[in-house]
């Protein structure tokens, strides 16, 4: 099995192409659609690098596997679906995320919250067969309720559950996120795998300005993860995670990302004037009065 990484420095996101060099069967995990918030402009440079690699290697992409509905970048899954006829798969609990954000964005009544925008909804313990590749599905909620990790051979792709050991774990303050669930996901599910299991993380924020790292091992995580070692208690982690999350700002691309990603990476349909319109809730995290002044607690 070959693993090729692609790093998007604008969002610190890692996309992976996993393929069998013998059969050329492949999957793509967490592709990025570029988005400039200043001009509300999408572009495809990041995913085109992935597509170029796929073509050069003569790969047959069976699936785009989303680890979750990302809040920090738009998914380029529809690009890969169009050009490679890849199916799009995500965790079955995406329905909960859709229900939550349909209300936040006041999406039309016709917007489905049954996950039908995706080609396949995955449950814990399922095996995805992508030609000769066999991909085990591990439910690892906490960052979001729909988070999955994918285990392929001696490697696991945990999305935002854990990062390189010098950075820690994903945040848990998104709607229906849970530090307790993330502890169980990492400590009881991922850390139960063999120490030599390779870990390919979903982001690398390069703490201290160090060089990019995208691969580690579960043994290294268990020994040295700065937020969640094998020896870390549930109480200590939950207390730390909740206190830290209370200090964090929302992700820069939160509203465009989630709005696109709960619809399987589809852009909004053009309106009568031909424009595609995103819905951005104003002052969601700090309600104001009609002139924009912060409301005081009574």
pLDDT band at residue 297 under the 50/70/90 scheme: low
Segment among 68-77, 129-138, 220-229, 273-282 with least mean pLDDT: 273-282
Structure tokens at 127: 């095996």
Rounded to whole angstroms, the Cα distance separating 73 from 35 reads 8
Q: Specify the CATH number for the domain of residue 110.
A: 3.60.15.10
Number of domains in the chain: 1
**Has residue 105 got a pLDDT over 80?**
yes
**Has residue 139 got a pLDDT over 70?**
yes
Residue 132 lies in a domain: yes
* pTM for the model: 0.96
What is the percentage of the chain residues whose pLDDT exceeds 90?
A: 95
Summary mean pLDDT of the chain: 97
The mean per-residue pLDDT over the stretch 275-282 comes to 93
pLDDT band at residue 182 under the 50/70/90 scheme: very high
Total residue count of the chain as it appears in this document:
298
The mean per-residue pLDDT over the stretch 177-206 comes to 98
Residue 281 lies in a domain: no
What DSSP character marks residue 167? T
**36-62 as b/e: b if 16+ CB within 10 A:** eeeeeeeeeebbebbbebbeeeebbbb
The mean per-residue pLDDT over the stretch 86-94 comes to 98
* Nearest 10 degrees: Cα torsion 212, 32, 150, 211: 0
What DSSP character marks residue 162? B
| Main-chain dihedrals φ then ψ at residue 110, nearest 5 degrees | -75, -10
pLDDT at 296: 75
DSSP string, 197-260: -EEE-SB---GGGPPP--EEEHHHHHHH-SS--TT--HHHHHHHHHHHHTTPPPPTTHHHHHHH
**Has residue 275 got a pLDDT over 70?**
yes
The mean per-residue pLDDT over the stretch 86-101 comes to 98
Residue 49 lies in a domain: yes
Question: Measured in whole angstroms, how far is the alpha carbon of residue 170 from the centre of its chain?
Answer: 10
Order of strands across the sheet that contains 32-36:
41-43, 32-36, 74-75
Q: What is the pLDDT of residues 234-249, one digit of tens each?
A: 999 999 999 999 999 9
pLDDT at 59: 98
Query: Structural domain of residue 163, as residue ranges?
Result: 2-249
Segment among 185-194, 222-231, 274-283, 289-298 with least mean pLDDT: 289-298
Q: Which residues contact 67 (CB under 8 A, 6 or more apart)?
A: 29, 30, 147, 148, 149, 150, 157, 158, 159, 160, 202
The mean per-residue pLDDT over the stretch 192-199 comes to 98
**Ramachandran sector of residue 235 (left: φ over 0; alpha: ψ -120 to 50; beta: rest):** alpha
Residue 269 lies in a domain: no
pLDDT at 272: 87
Residue 15 lies in a domain: yes
Residue 264 lies in a domain: no
Residue 279 lies in a domain: no
pLDDT band at residue 268 under the 50/70/90 scheme: very high
**Has residue 123 got a pLDDT over 90?**
yes
The mean per-residue pLDDT over the stretch 214-229 comes to 98
Across the strands, what pairs with 285? none
H helix or E strand, kind and range, residue 18: strand 13-19
What is the percentage of the chain residues whose pLDDT exceeds 70?
A: 99
pLDDT at 295: 84
**Has residue 298 got a pLDDT over 60?**
no
**Has residue 273 got a pLDDT over 90?**
no
Q: What is the pLDDT of residues 25-74, one digit of tens each?
A: 999 999 999 999 999 999 999 999 999 999 999 999 999 999 999 999 99
Secondary structure of residue 145 in the 3-state scheme: coil
Residue 235 lies in a domain: yes
């Amino acid at each position: 099995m070959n693993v090729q990484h692609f790093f998007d420095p604008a969002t610190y996101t890692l996309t992976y192409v996993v393929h069998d060099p013998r059969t050329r069967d492949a999957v793509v995990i967490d592709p990025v659609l570029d988005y400039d918030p200043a001009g509300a402009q999408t572009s495809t440079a990041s995913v085109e690098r992935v597509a170029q690699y796929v073509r050069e290697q003569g790969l047959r992409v069976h699936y785009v596997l989303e680890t979750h509905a990302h809040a920090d970048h738009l998914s380029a899954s529809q690009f890969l679906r169009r050009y490679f006829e890849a199916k799009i798969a995500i965790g079955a609990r995406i329905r909960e995320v859709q229900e939550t954000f349909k209300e936040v964005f006041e999406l039309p009544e016709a917007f489905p919250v049954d996950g039908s925008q995706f080609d396949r909804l995955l449950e814990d313990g399922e095996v995805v067969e992508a030609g000769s590749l066999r991909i085990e599905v591990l439910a690892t909620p906490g960052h979001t309720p729909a988070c999955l990790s994918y285990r392929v051979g001696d490697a696991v792709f945990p999305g935002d559950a854990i990062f390189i050991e010098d950075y820690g774990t994903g945040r848990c303050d998104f709607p229906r996120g849970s530090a307790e669930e993330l502890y169980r996901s990492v400590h009881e599910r991922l850390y139960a795998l063999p120490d030599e299991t390779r870990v390919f993380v979903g982001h690398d924020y390069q703490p201290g300005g160090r060089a990019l790292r995208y691969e580690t091992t579960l043994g290294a995580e268990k020994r040295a993860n700065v937020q969640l070692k094998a020896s870390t208690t549930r109480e200590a982690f939950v207390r730390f995670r909740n206190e830290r999350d209370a200090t964090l700002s929302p992700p820069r691309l939160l509203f465009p990302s989630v709005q696109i990603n709960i619809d399987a990476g589809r852009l909004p349909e053009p309106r009568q004037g031909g424009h595609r319109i995103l819905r951005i809730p104003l002052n969601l995290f700090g309600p104001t009065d009609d002139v924009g002044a912060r409301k005081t607690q009574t």
